[in-house]
């Protein structure tokens, strides 16, 4: 009753409401959110008002006396909920990088309300009847290609959201959505809290945390095997029991997702997810992953044998363990290629790598990036760039690079506002955000990256370009709103430029001397490019297969996450010295951030990105203007065209896995 009362009163403004920045134009350049004015207590009133407004807009659609058509039904719904979209875009993005107790409290209250609101729309029989009427007559309405795509995607979206769920199952369907939404939120909070809870003081006065920028270098360089074991377990055993346990949440999520999929007519949750992806079904995913699993595992076994021989020298009789792998991998890398992080990092300062990414975008697409310190920002560490094409502004890009206790781990791209055209046909420019967790600079030294971190920056920047270069009309088809197993192509293909010797010579410069990275170091880096690929590919594929195993469960049963994971790993024959890239209790991709039954997409898309970059290499010009123009068209098109049609238009053929296996040294 309190929620209903709040919704009914949401349209009534008092003086306090008028202070809420969400209830007026931002009054800022480019319509950037006025971060400095937003307080935690502004969010809930704005969410409630946004839901109330969208309900009123939908009621106007369903009460329309005119026959349903594209304009009065599909287009009207496409542009409904603008306030809700705006407040969600700010709140959920900041929840991941500027969290607080107040934000957590708002999230816990609003997530169930949003789930119920989304169900109200999806299960509105009158609304769906009008959308279905337009869909069934879509070829008779004189629609252009993008309008036709919007009708088809909108109809499919309603069906997938439950529009055809029988009336006697709708209450349970709503309960499932609400419970799933709340549990994913709790899962994320547990991982953040567990990660922040661990601090290990070392004898030299430094501190190890579970943030990858400090954890991984420690594991690579610490000679104390017992200490490595302690710190490894602190990372790998997060959320397995104790205050921040996620194992019961996994049990619930797997079963709730299965039940929801069954109600929607699918045998498993994976069948439901993949019905809307290029992979189409679980069998295709398993086939793709297992085609690469065997050569990857064989390579990992050869790597293991080398590291075991090194351990035999240091500690005769000891057996290699997961906490030894990174240490001996780095040691052998240094011996074999005379290459280690300490030698590499000085040439990859964060600023140099960022400018390198900007340079590649400039050479390919003619973009320039102008830093703007005068525009609103949510944190002093977040840098803001105006993205230009000639003299015209394309969009705004925020880059937030360093760990904070308020920020979740990992790296990601998102948007405060996506590109689209408004109802009057005016272009609305995107406001894009890239978030990473690189080591902070010190008083005498900038943030210095290794190869993997440099590729991470290029990767997320590739996602940003997908959002920035979007040239679509409708919000739901624009930018990165593409199938999950296609969305990683623009990001992963950028990694190829990052690691190419010709491009490294352009941007990798010593932070003290300004000297370009030496050819000898590039040659060693090139020789080492396939080094460690057995481990990296095996742990990635193991996580992908674990994800698929959870979400191809066909009948409800108790899921003990630890036992389930052990059995899944035994089934594929993973060696005990390697674990899944993410163990289940902190596997946020599949239990929080929307990659459930979709983590395979990193491998699926790697086939596309290797094949795509090979086109540039074959042309003899890494910045080939004709190929760049064709790839830009792919980026600009969002989901207005079938993604594989876009890919074939770019490449002139279907993708082949040969380029990926060659790149990994597995042919």
What are the tokens at 152? 């088809």
- Which residues neighbour 89 within 8 Å (Cβ) at sequence distance 6 or greater? 33, 415, 416, 417
Question: Rounded to whole angstroms, how far apart are CA atoms 640 and 451?
Answer: 35
Question: Rounded to whole angstroms, how far apart are CA atoms 131 and 136?
Answer: 9
The length of the chain in residues reads: 667
Closest CA to 435 of 139, 2, 92: 92
- β-partners of residue 383 are 399
Question: Rounded to whole angstroms, how far apart are CA atoms 40 and 263?
Answer: 37
- Which residues neighbour 287 within 8 Å (Cβ) at sequence distance 6 or greater? none
Question: Rounded to whole angstroms, how far apart are CA atoms 134 and 67?
Answer: 9
Q: How many other CB atoms are there within 10 angstroms of residue 434's CB atom?
A: 26
Half-sphere exposure of 176 (CA within 13 A, CB side): 21
- Which residues neighbour 281 within 8 Å (Cβ) at sequence distance 6 or greater? 271, 274, 275
Q: What is the DSSP letter of 318?
A: P
Helix axes 533-551, 247-263, angle to 10 degrees: 60
User: Per the residue annotation, which of 460, 539, 565, 577 is the catalytic one?
Assistant: 460
Q: Active-site residue 460, yes or no?
A: yes
Based on C-alpha coordinates, what's the Rg of the chain?
A: 25
- Which residues neighbour 442 within 8 Å (Cβ) at sequence distance 6 or greater? none
What are the tokens at 346? 């000085």
- Hunting for tokens 């194992």 — which residue is that? 247
Query: Is 493:613 a contact under the CB 8 Å cutoff?
Result: yes
Question: Rounded to whole angstroms, how far apart are CA atoms 70 and 68?
Answer: 7
* DSSP assignments along 535-576, one per residue: HHHHHHHHHHHHHHHHHT--S-----HHHHHHHHHHHHT--T
What are the tokens at 360? 């590649």
Question: Rounded to whole angstroms, how far apart are CA atoms 649 and 59?
Answer: 42
Question: Rounded to whole angstroms, how far apart are CA atoms 300 and 577?
Answer: 10
Query: Is 448:346 a contact under the CB 8 Å cutoff?
Result: yes
Between the alpha carbon of residue 646 and those of residues 148, 473, 607, the distances in Å are: 17, 17, 16
Between the alpha carbon of residue 77 and those of residues 14, 73, 165, 434, 580, the distances in Å are: 29, 6, 21, 29, 42
- What residues are annotated to the active site? 460
């Amino acid at each position: 009753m309190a929620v209903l009362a709040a919704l009914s009163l949401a349209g009534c403004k008092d003086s306090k409401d008028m202070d809420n920045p969400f209830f007026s134009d931002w009054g800022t350049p480019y319509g950037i959110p006025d971060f400095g004015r937003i307080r935690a207590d502004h969010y809930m009133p704005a969410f409630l008002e946004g839901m109330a407004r969208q309900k009123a807009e939908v009621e106007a659609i369903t009460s329309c006396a005119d026959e349903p058509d594209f304009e009065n039904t599909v287009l009207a719904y496409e542009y409904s909920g603008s306030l809700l979209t705006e407040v969600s875009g700010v709140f959920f993005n900041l929840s991941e990088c500027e969290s607080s107790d107040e934000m957590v409290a708002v999230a816990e209250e609003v997530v169930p309300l949003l789930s119920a609101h989304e169900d109200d729309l999806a299960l509105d029989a009158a609304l769906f009847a009008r959308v279905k009427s337009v869909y069934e007559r879509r070829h008779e309405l004189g629609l252009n290609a993008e309008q036709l795509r919007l009708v088809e995607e909108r109809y499919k979206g309603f069906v997938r959201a439950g529009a055809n769920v029988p009336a006697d199952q709708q209450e349970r369907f709503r309960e499932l959505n609400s419970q799933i939404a709340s549990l994913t939120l709790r899962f994320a909070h547990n991982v953040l809290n567990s990660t922040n809870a661990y601090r290990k003081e070392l004898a030299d006065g430094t501190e190890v945390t579970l943030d990858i920028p400090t954890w991984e270098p420690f594991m690579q360089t610490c000679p104390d095997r017992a200490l490595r074991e302690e710190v490894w377990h602190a990372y790998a055993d997060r959320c397995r029991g104790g205050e921040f346990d996620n194992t019961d949440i996994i049990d619930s999520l797997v079963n709730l997702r299965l039940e929801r999929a069954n109600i929607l007519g699918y045998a498993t949750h994976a069948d439901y997810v993949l019905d809307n992806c290029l992979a189409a079904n679980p069998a295709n995913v398993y086939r793709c992953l297992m085609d690469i699993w065997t050569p990857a595992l064989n390579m990992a076994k050869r790597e293991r044998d080398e590291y075991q021989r090194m351990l035999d020298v240091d500690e005769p009789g000891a057996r290699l363990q997961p906490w030894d792998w990174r240490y001996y991998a780095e040691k052998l890398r240094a011996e074999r290629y005379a290459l280690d992080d300490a030698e590499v990092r000085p040439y990859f300062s964060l600023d140099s790598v960022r400018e390198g990414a900007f340079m590649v975008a400039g050479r390919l697409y003619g973009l320039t990036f102008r830093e703007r310190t005068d525009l609103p920002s949510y944190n002093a560490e977040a840098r803001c760039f105006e993205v230009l094409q000639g003299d015209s502004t394309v969009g705004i890009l925020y880059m937030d690079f360093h760990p904070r206790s308020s920020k979740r781990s990992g790296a990601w791209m998102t948007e405060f506002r996506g590109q689209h055209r408004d109802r009057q046909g005016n272009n609305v420019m995107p406001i894009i955000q890239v978030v990473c967790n690189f080591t902070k600079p010190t008083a005498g030294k900038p943030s210095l990256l290794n190869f993997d971190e440099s590729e991470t920056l290029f990767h997320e920047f590739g996602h940003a370009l997908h959002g920035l270069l979007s040239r679509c009309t409708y919000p739901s088809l624009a930018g990165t709103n593409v199938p999950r197993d296609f969305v990683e192509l623009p990001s992963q293909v950028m990694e190829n430029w990052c690691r190419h010797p010709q491009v490294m010579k352009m941007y990798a410069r010593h932070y003290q001397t300004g000297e370009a990275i030496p050819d000898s170091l590039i040659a060693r880096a090139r020789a080492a490019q396939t080094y460690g690929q057995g481990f990296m590919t095996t742990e990635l594929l193991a996580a992908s297969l674990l994800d698929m195993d959870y979400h191809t469960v066909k009948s409800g049963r108790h899921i003990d996450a630890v036992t389930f994971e052990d059995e899944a790993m035994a089934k594929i024959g993973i060696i005990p010295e390697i674990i899944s890239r993410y163990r289940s209790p902190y596997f946020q991709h599949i239990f929080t951030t929307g990659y459930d039954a979709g983590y395979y997409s990193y491998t699926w898309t790697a086939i596309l990105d290797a094949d795509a970059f090979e086109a540039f290499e074959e042309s003899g010009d890494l910045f080939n203007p004709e190929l760049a123009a064709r790839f830009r068209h792919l980026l600009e098109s969002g989901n207005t065209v079938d993604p594989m049609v876009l890919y074939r238009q770019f490449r002139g053929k279907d993708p082949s896995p040969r380029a990926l296996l060659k790149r990994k040294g597995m042919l």
